[in-house]
Amino acid sequence: MTSAPNSDVRLPKLDSLRLSSRPYVAAIVIVGAFATSDLHNALLLVLLVINSVVLSASALPRRFIGPRLSMAGAGVALFACAAILPLGGSTVATMFPFLVAGHAGWRFKPSISFPFAISLSVACATALWIAERNGVDGWPWAAGLFAGWPVLIGYSRRSRLDALRNARRATDAELREHALAERARIARDIHDVLAHSLSGVNMQLEVADALLDAGRPDDARAAVGKAQSLVREGLTETRRAVQTLRQDALPLVSTLHALVGDEASFETHGTVRELDTPQAQFLVRCAQEAMTNARHHAPGAAVDVVLRFGAESVELSITNGPASSAPEPVESTGMGLVGMRERAALVGGSVTAGPDGRGWTVRAEVPLQQPH
């Protein structure tokens, strides 16, 4: 069977990408902020608690917090981060605005996160400017303008997550499409191998039953013999189909050589190339059908099978000469010319059949995949 396209590509788990290191960073900042800040300052303590809650909530996956609660938290964070920046001095508490901006880039769409980051930068710069005007030592007010820049980091993480999610969906869709195509191929094999042969057996048994009613036991016995012959051919074709379904790659030359056996001559021209399993199976089915038709419609005729490997395609021709004896009407067990053309369309090939100077020729051709 054909291998699933890109089925072994391993994409990072989305949940692990969403969580990654954000909760740990948030926990470290929160613990460090409480450890390095003056907890006797009531206003600073309240701001530490508010910022810790907001930062912890923003580090959680988006599915745990609804959009309304997220927007409310962003509004609270805008003022709490700006207020704690001048009060935190040189402590870890001054990291809150930068982390909140980065999480906003991950959690919200750019139409929300970028205006939020700009507002956060302006608010932090304003808070530092007011503190500077009132004689509070700390960061220069211009430093607050950089508080919103981490939003770009959060946005890049969000973009990567969305890209991985889209890649996962595309891979799943491709695998589903491949599975459906494989099911359709197996259904065609079952139909080609079993349905046609069983219909032939059923017809011969109905003929035998009618001949028995007419008092012609010898003719009925002959019809039963034809039914047995069809059963044997169906079993042989079924074994070949099952073997093909179990294989990842179909060895075209050896399979054709075993199929032809002593019933026909087999030649190979050109440099042998590997084909995809559907293409190889198509050529094998064409050879099988053409040889079956030759046995039924031109019994005793010489059959020549030639496989030609060209630069861009592979051509299989099956030619039989005139019959050496009168053919008997037998129900065909193959897929027929219509089935050949349907299979050819699936692999990008073509099939032609018609008389030539020696008898009847069936030609099947498939394109070779060019190396990348």
**Mapping DSSP to helix (H, G, I), strand (E, B) and coil, where does residue 361 land?**
strand
Radius of gyration (C-alpha) of the chain in whole angstroms: 38
**Mapping DSSP to helix (H, G, I), strand (E, B) and coil, where does residue 341 land?**
helix
> Half-sphere exposure (CA, 13 Å, Cβ side) for 141?
14
Better-scored residue on pLDDT, 178 or 129: 129
List, in sequence order, every beta strand (DSSP E) within the chain.
265-269, 303-309, 313-320, 350-355, 360-367
Quote the CA–CA distance of 82 and 122 in Å, as a whole number: 9
Q: Given this model, what pLDDT does residue 241 score? A: 63
Q: Given this model, what pLDDT does residue 317 score? A: 92
Q: Is the dihedral of CA 191, 201, 301, 242 positive or negative?
A: positive
Looking up tokens 């035998």, which residue turns up?
Answer: 208
| The two three-digit tokens of residue 202, written as one number | 């059923």
Q: Given this model, what pLDDT does residue 17 score? A: 43
Residue count of the chain: 372
**Residue 6 reports pLDDT greater than 50:** no
pLDDT range class, residue 371, cuts 50, 70, 90: low
249-301 per-position pLDDT tens digit: 568 888 888 888 887 899 999 888 888 878 888 888 888 888 877 877 777 78
Quote the CA–CA distance of 258 and 235 in Å, as a whole number: 16
The alpha carbon torsion through 131, 133, 134, 140 (nearest 10 deg) reads 40
Q: Are 349 and 364 in contact (CB under 8 A)?
A: yes
pLDDT range class, residue 334, cuts 50, 70, 90: very low
The alpha carbon torsion through 192, 197, 198, 199 (nearest 10 deg) reads 90
**DSSP per-residue codes, 150-187:** THHHHHHHHHHHHHHHHHHHHHHHHHHHHHHHHHHHHH
Q: Are strands 265-269 and 303-309 parallel, antiparallel or unpaired?
A: parallel
11-29 per-position pLDDT tens digit: 445 444 444 446 777 778 8
**Mapping DSSP to helix (H, G, I), strand (E, B) and coil, where does residue 320 land?**
strand
Percentage of residues of the chain with pLDDT beyond 90: 6
**Residue 7 reports pLDDT greater than 70:** no
* Phi, psi for 71 (deg, rounded to 5): -65, -40
Domains and CATH numbers, the chain: 14-167 (no CATH), 249-372 (3.30.565.10)
Q: Given this model, what pLDDT does residue 259 score? A: 80
| The two three-digit tokens of residue 181, written as one number | 């195509």
- Residues 6 or more apart whose Cβ sits within 8 Å of residue 45: 37, 39
List, as own/partner pairs, every contact residues 182-189 make where C-beta atoms lie below 8 angstroms and the sequence separation is at least 24, other chains included. 182/1, 182/2, 185/1, 185/278, 186/245, 188/339, 188/343, 189/241, 189/244, 189/245
Better-scored residue on pLDDT, 137 or 84: 84
Percentage of residues of the chain with pLDDT beyond 70: 81
212-227 per-position pLDDT tens digit: 888 888 888 888 888 8
**Residue 189 reports pLDDT greater than 70:** no
As a whole number, mean pLDDT of residues 24-42 equals 79
Which of 49-58, 303-312, 336-345 tops mean pLDDT?
A: 303-312
128-164 per-position pLDDT tens digit: 888 888 877 777 888 888 888 888 888 888 888 888 8
Residue 266's DSSP bridge partners are 305
Better-scored residue on pLDDT, 239 or 202: 202
